[in-house]
Chain A
Amino acid sequence: MRIQGQQNFWSGVMFIVVGLLFSWFATDYQMGTAARMGPGYFPFWLGIIMAILGASLSLGALSHKAEETKVDRFDWKSIILVLGGVALFALLLKPLGLYVSLFLLVMITSYASHDFNWKVALATAIFLVVFSYVAFVKGLGLIFPLYPWFIGN
């Protein structure tokens, strides 16, 4: 069977799964009664309602009258470079300090651009490191680990 409205179908599946998961975990908490609600009551019913609405969304998308939509391919290169670059920044912030990890963040994520040019990326990285020093470290006084662990703060 072909799925007519792929976007709505898969969104519906997501709402069903997430809704049921929330409801299922809610049963771990006290439900209570309507007059004296426990912590599980509200999320349990929210999850159930979401799952029901999600199911109607998915079923509606199977109808041949549904608007035809497709789920486009994922651009994994951009995803990995952008999100990976930021996650690496988070990972390296403590051991390597703000300046080095920021520099790496800009260099790695810049590579996701269609017209990547290492000179431009280098200039951007240096500019943003200096800007962060002036605006965030000096200007706003935010507190970061600044230098790599072997140099110390």
Chain B
Amino acid sequence: MELFDNIMLGLSVAVTPENLAYAFLGAFLGTIIGVLPGIGPLATIAMLLPITYVLPPVAGLIMLAGIYYGSQYGGSTTAILVNLPGEISAVVTVLDGHQMAKNGRAGAALALAALGSFFAGCVATLLIAGFAPPLAEIAFKFGPAEYFSLMVLGLIGAVVLGSGSLIKAICMILLGLLLGMVGTDVNSGVARYAFNIPELQDGIDFAAVAMGVFGFAEVMRNLEQGEKAQHTTSTIGSLYPNMQEIKESWGAVVRGTAIGSVLGVLPGGGSVLAAFASYTVEKKLSKTPERFGKGHPAGVAGPESANNAGAQTSFIPMLTLGIPSNAVMALMIGAMTIHNIQPGPQVISSHPELFWGLIASMWVGNLMLVVLNLPLVGLWVKLLKIPYRILFPAILVFCSIGVYSLNYNVFDIYVTVAFGFIGYLWGKLGCEGAPLLLGLVLGPMMEENFRRALLLSRGDFMTFIERPLSATLLFLAVALVLLIAVPAIRKKRDETFEEET
């Protein structure tokens, strides 16, 4: 059993004391930022990314991954107890979760959310272990033309599901690709758009961009809106769901896991869409749809399982193809490149301990999260009482120190400040930052493959449509755009999706 051997290898990496500690730290931090509204996994991972320089690559990735799925757990706590999504992916959980809390079943809702997420996490981990290696095998057959087309599909897929104007989102991708051009061109050695600034010859650091756009700009937006006092449900009650609640929700957990696992793999899918889809399905299937919105356990268990499954399977395209399906995965790719690991299908064979260690750590991390979230729930409730006037200077301090330690150069702090202002401006203009980040990370890779594809075809652009696989991928991208142009689908999309931060 090769899979078994691989999982054993992964476990042997994941349970070393050091890696266990980093998995715990990631899960712990993820829960904190998940619980706190106004700070998301994207900003946190960007903030901590430079610090992973000093860690071994496996430990760094384990910790960053833990932050991402940990935030999915933490987000539900705030949704249930405060009637406010701690994370955007917990938006749906608010509907029935807080109603359950009002009915005195807060503890049961928390338990259903955590246990559902745990089940989903276990299944999704197995799916990654089972499906990633064969997918990587297929990816080895890709030439530069196929890679280019795949990236086009990935980028388009990531925005057709987003909210707002499609043209605007595509423009943000293009802007990201262009910003990715800054720095030394690998083929000719020419420093592009560097304007004789030595720091710019290495390119714009995407961690600085992410921190500016998602960290600083977010802080300014929150300050502008004014801090609001939060009302917490004080009684949590029994953490044990009763028999009826279990009976009503286990089906939702299984279906939510399936929905989330599928949607997570798709570009732009991820956890938010998964949660919405699961809620819709549960309401449709229920014999008593009128109870949804009034505290139906399935309305908590389903979406919470779905968002965790989606968060985890979104690692599949990142690990096998080197293509990020959302902005968090773009940062994970960045984390790999700073450790000189070229993301792509070769990661599984060239760094098996990293690949399988990361997967095994997800299972270990999920287990830790159940323990962290249920018995310690009182601690997280206290966290919600920290006023924003204390929280935001701390965010700024971590960002500033993090970005300085990228290259031990204050220039990166100035870049972050500039992108903080630009990100604030984009907020006013209704432009989303996430597509830009995907473009920024993929820019150099995309240009490289575009150039190589045309070099091989002697300048014939038809190569992209003459090669069947490449043509299929491009066709899918065009079909997605046309599909979204149909007004009926468009309306539905605007209702169900917001930027994932």
A: which residues have CB within 8 A of B? Answer: 7-8, 10-11, 14-15, 18-19, 22, 25-26, 29-30, 33-39, 41-43, 46-47, 49-50, 53-54, 56-57, 60, 69, 71-72, 74-75, 78-79, 82-83, 85-87, 89-91, 93-94, 102, 105-106, 109-110, 112-117, 120-121, 124-125, 128, 132, 136, 140-144
- Min CB distance, A123 to chain B, in Å? 8
- Complex CA–CA separation, A72 to B185 (angstroms): 39
Please, which residues of chain A bring their CB within 8 A of the CB of B220? 75, 78-79, 82-83
With beta carbons under 8 angstroms apart, the residue of B171, B193, B390, B399 that contacts A50 is B171
**B:94-119 near A, CB below 8 Å:** none
With beta carbons under 8 angstroms apart, the residue of A35, A69, A114 that contacts B430 is A69
Chain A-chain B contacts (Cβ-Cβ < 8 Å), number: 189
Q: Say whether A124 contacts B223, CB under 8 Å.
A: no
Please, which residues of chain B bring their CB within 8 A of the CB of A46? 174, 177-178, 181
With beta carbons under 8 angstroms apart, the residue of B51, B170, B392 that contacts A53 is B170
With beta carbons under 8 angstroms apart, the residue of A50, A91, A115, A124 that contacts B175 is A50
Q: Say whether B459 contacts A11, CB under 8 Å.
A: no
A-B contact pairs, 20 of them (CB 8 A): A8-B168, A11-B171, A22-B178, A25-B192, A29-B190, A34-B461, A38-B188, A39-B187, A53-B171, A54-B171, A74-B428, A83-B417, A83-B420, A86-B399, A86-B413, A109-B392, A115-B387, A117-B389, A125-B393, A128-B394
Please, which residues of chain B bring their CB within 8 A of the CB of A8? 165, 168, 430
Please, which residues of chain B bring their CB within 8 A of the CB of A35? 454-455, 457-459
Q: Say whether B168 contacts A132, CB under 8 Å.
A: no
- Given A35-B458, A82-B216, A93-B410, are A116 and B389 also a contact pair (CB < 8 Å)? yes
Please, which residues of chain B bring their CB within 8 A of the CB of A43? 178, 181, 192-193
- Complex CA–CA separation, A90 to B208 (angstroms): 14
Known contacts A34-B454, A121-B393; 6 further A-B pairs (Cβ under 8 A): A34-B460, A46-B181, A50-B175, A82-B219, A115-B389, A124-B393
B: which residues have CB within 8 A of A? Answer: 51, 54, 165, 167-168, 170-171, 174-175, 177-178, 181, 185, 187-188, 190, 192-193, 216, 219-220, 223-224, 226-227, 387-390, 392-394, 396-397, 399-401, 404-405, 408, 410, 413-414, 416-417, 420-421, 424, 428-431, 447, 450-451, 454-455, 457-461
Q: Say whether A140 contacts B51, CB under 8 Å.
A: yes
Q: Say whether A112 contacts B216, CB under 8 Å.
A: no
Q: Say whether A86 contacts B400, CB under 8 Å.
A: yes
Q: Say whether A30 contacts B455, CB under 8 Å.
A: no
Q: Say whether B393 contacts A105, CB under 8 Å.
A: yes
Q: Of residues A56, A57, A79, which shows the largest number of chain B Cβ atoms within 10 Å of its Cβ?
A: A79
Please, which residues of chain A bring their CB within 8 A of the CB of B167? 53, 56-57, 60
- Min CB distance, A93 to chain B, in Å? 6
- Min CB distance, A70 to chain B, in Å? 9
Please, which residues of chain A bring their CB within 8 A of the CB of B459? 33-36
- Given A53-B170, A82-B420, A105-B393, are A11 and B429 also a contact pair (CB < 8 Å)? yes
- Min CB distance, A41 to chain B, in Å? 8
Q: Say whether A30 contacts B175, CB under 8 Å.
A: no
Please, which residues of chain B bring their CB within 8 A of the CB of A60? 167
Q: Of residues B168, B174, B420, B430, which shows the largest number of chain A Cβ atoms within 10 Å of its Cβ?
A: B174
Q: Of residues B223, B405, B459, which shows the largest number of chain A Cβ atoms within 10 Å of its Cβ?
A: B223
Q: Say whether B397 contacts A128, CB under 8 Å.
A: yes
Please, which residues of chain A bring their CB within 8 A of the CB of B219? 82
- Complex CA–CA separation, A20 to B36 (angstroms): 41
With both beta carbons as reference points, the residue of chain B lying nearest to A37 in the complex is identified as: B451
